[in-house]
Structure 1
């Protein structure tokens, strides 16, 4: 346990940051789940709308330091690829 007042304050700050980061990570994962569900349903229009929101949330997570930039880029890229394939499939039908 922390003994000095500065160490106690550091522990309080760490707990607060952990709680905030956990909330941000949870919100990001929820949005990713919504995007996955939209793609699974096969609705290209809805998937495009959800994709833009998801991209925003994921990139904001990068700015806040929740995830790494490359991880976010990879995630968004894979989602975009799947949505484009879905849109192309809908256009052919």
Structure 2
């Protein structure tokens, strides 16, 4: 365990940041699952609006460095393909 005051503070700060990052990552994953569930239910209108919200969550996670840019792009691409195939 850290003995020095600054090291103790770093541990606290890192734990807070880790908790915030995990919460945001979890929210992003929940949004992705919500879109996939709407796609399975063939609900095109709600899936499109949910996709826009999900894309914002993914972009925010990429911006904050929670996930890698390519990972975010891949997730959005896969979801967009699913949503676009609903209309066809």
Q: TM-score category by the smaller chain?
A: over 0.9
How many residues are aligned here?
A: 88
Q: Which runs of 5+ in 1 are unaligned?
A: 89-93
Q: CA RMSD in A?
A: 0.7
The TM-score, its normalising length taken from structure 2, stands at 0.96
The normalised TM-score by structure 1 is 0.91
In 2, Cα distance between equivalents of 1:13 and 1:40: 41
- What stretches of structure 2 of length at least 5 have no aligned partner? none
**Distance (whole Å) between structure 1 residues aligned to residue 51 and residue 22 of structure 2:** 22
- C-alpha separation in 2, matches of 1:17 and 1:62: 15
Larger radius of gyration: 1
Alpha-carbon distance in structure 2 between the residues aligned to 1:65 and 1:23 = 14
Give the secondary structure class of the aligned counterpart of 1:11: helix
Q: Tell me the equivalent position of 1:26.
A: 26
Equivalent-residue separation in structure 1 for 2:14 and 2:54 (angstroms):
28
Q: Which runs of 4+ in 1 moved over 2 A?
A: none
